[in-house]
A = this chain, B = another copy of it.
Amino acid sequence: MFNIDLRSSSPIYEQLAEQVKRGVIQGMLKPGDSLPSVRRLAADIGVNPNTVAKAYQELERQQVIITVRGKGTIINDIPATFTTNAAEKMRPFITELIYAGKTKQEILETVAAIYDEIRKGQNNA
């Protein structure tokens, strides 16, 4: 379920958090489902337990999961509504795409394709 790229520029804990969210979006993870324990997942993917713990803490901050000391971690059942400046963070990349010669339509199509891939995992580009 988890696929970590150690050579990626994005931190391991971020990759983990994103993949959990993606699992929820795609329905592979449903509200109430348990996530592996910090130590178990760390052993499975070969990283430090602290790194997994950091991913879980970030996910709890975003209301994606609920963690209970001594019990474990489950997917939250209430829809996550949190404020995010994710859109603003895309600005530098959009600038770069424009400068690389991409048209507005091309950029929007690219974003739409990524969106579809995140939602379904089926290539309908």
Please list the residues of chain A having a beta carbon within 8 angstroms of any beta carbon in chain B: 10, 14, 18, 21-22, 24-25, 62, 64, 79-84, 86-101, 104, 107-108, 110-112, 114-115, 118-119
Contacts and interface: CB of A to CB of B under 8 A. Distances in A.
A interface SS class: helix
Q: How many monomers of this protein are in the complex?
A: 2
Contact of A80 (B101, B104, B114): B101
A89 B9 CA distance: 10
Given A104-B115, A108-B111, A89 B93 contact: yes
A86 to B, nearest CB: 4
Nearest to A24: B99
20 contacts: A18-B91, A18-B96, A21-B99, A79-B101, A80-B101, A82-B100, A86-B97, A87-B110, A89-B93, A90-B94, A90-B111, A90-B114, A91-B114, A94-B114, A94-B118, A98-B119, A108-B108, A108-B112, A108-B115, A111-B111
